[in-house]
Amino acid sequence: MSAIAPALDAAAVLLRLRQEGRVVIPRISWETYKTFMDSVGERSLPHAYDGEMLELMTKSNEHEFYKCILGRLIEVWADETMTPLRLGGETTLQGEEVQRGVEGDEIYWVGNLERLADPLNIDLSRDPPPDLVIEAEVSRTVVDKLGVYAALGVPELWRVNGERIRVGRLQPDGQYQWSEQSALLPGLPLQELSRFLRQAATTSDHLGVLRAFRAWARQVLGR
């Protein structure tokens, strides 16, 4: 068996990440991963850790577009349907028991918000995992991020690219079953979300698209 990599030089790793856009480091222990992330501090650092391998990524404009616009559309729908929603942004999720870690693109807790002991300091050793996570997929990853989210117990995972939106629901066997309907936000047709997402991709007025989506949502909801 290969030896576990020693402590990482955060400055050297981040320099390499800026130069290459992606860094994959194999044979990383949980302790090394945690020490590295602590040394990085509070900065947002897209990554996934599967218990052995750490993958670090930079953000592209395309990636940020899809995750931001889809997130805002979800928030508008939740607002119009009076669905309690706790926004988690790009909070890093770490589960020591399963030795997994990942930074979600957009994360949400839906309902039961009183279960969060301290909403400003999420700790999965005491707090429930987010109910919904958005993953913008504009490039391939080496680490199995679906497996990481499943191990952390995320019930619903939304995958978005330039073509479609799919919703994965976590099953008892630890796998995601893909659907065209959300269990957390029933009544929200994914094809309509995709339509407004495509509209946003062709205009600079993203707030205009959100206003149009809100008007559509109110019409569908009979308001």
Tell me how many domains the chain contains.
Answer: 2
Contact in structure between 169 and 179 (CB atoms under 8 Å)? yes
35, 58, 81 - which closes a domain: 58
The pLDDT, as a whole number, for residue 63 is 87
The pLDDT, as a whole number, for residue 223 is 79
Question: Do 48 and 69 lie in a common domain?
Answer: no
Question: Do 191 and 143 lie in a common domain?
Answer: yes
The pLDDT, as a whole number, for residue 221 is 92
Question: Do 78 and 26 lie in a common domain?
Answer: no
Total Cβ atoms within 10 A of residue 48: 23
Question: Do 25 and 89 lie in a common domain?
Answer: no
The pLDDT, as a whole number, for residue 164 is 85
Question: Do 174 and 111 lie in a common domain?
Answer: yes
The pLDDT, as a whole number, for residue 156 is 97
Question: Do 78 and 151 lie in a common domain?
Answer: yes
Q: How far apart are CA 212 and CA 117, in angstroms?
A: 36
One pLDDT digit (tens) per residue for the chain, 223 residues: 334 455 688 889 989 999 999 999 999 999 999 999 988 876 678 999 999 999 999 888 888 999 999 999 999 999 999 999 999 999 899 999 999 999 989 999 997 777 887 878 888 889 899 999 999 987 788 999 999 999 999 999 999 987 789 999 999 999 999 998 999 998 999 999 999 999 999 999 999 999 999 999 999 998 7
Question: Do 96 and 37 lie in a common domain?
Answer: no
The pLDDT, as a whole number, for residue 2 is 38
Edge-to-edge order in the sheet of strand 54-57: 22-25, 54-57, 47-49, 100-103, 92-95
Question: Do 79 and 152 lie in a common domain?
Answer: yes
The kind and range of the H/E element at 53 are: none
> Hey, which residues does 57 pair with through a beta bridge?
22
Question: Do 78 and 10 lie in a common domain?
Answer: no
Question: Do 112 and 136 lie in a common domain?
Answer: yes
Q: How far apart are the first and last CA of the chain?
A: 63
19, 37, 58 - which closes a domain: 58
Q: How far apart are CA 48 and CA 60, in angstroms?
A: 17
Range of the domain at 117: 60-220
Question: Do 11 and 107 lie in a common domain?
Answer: no
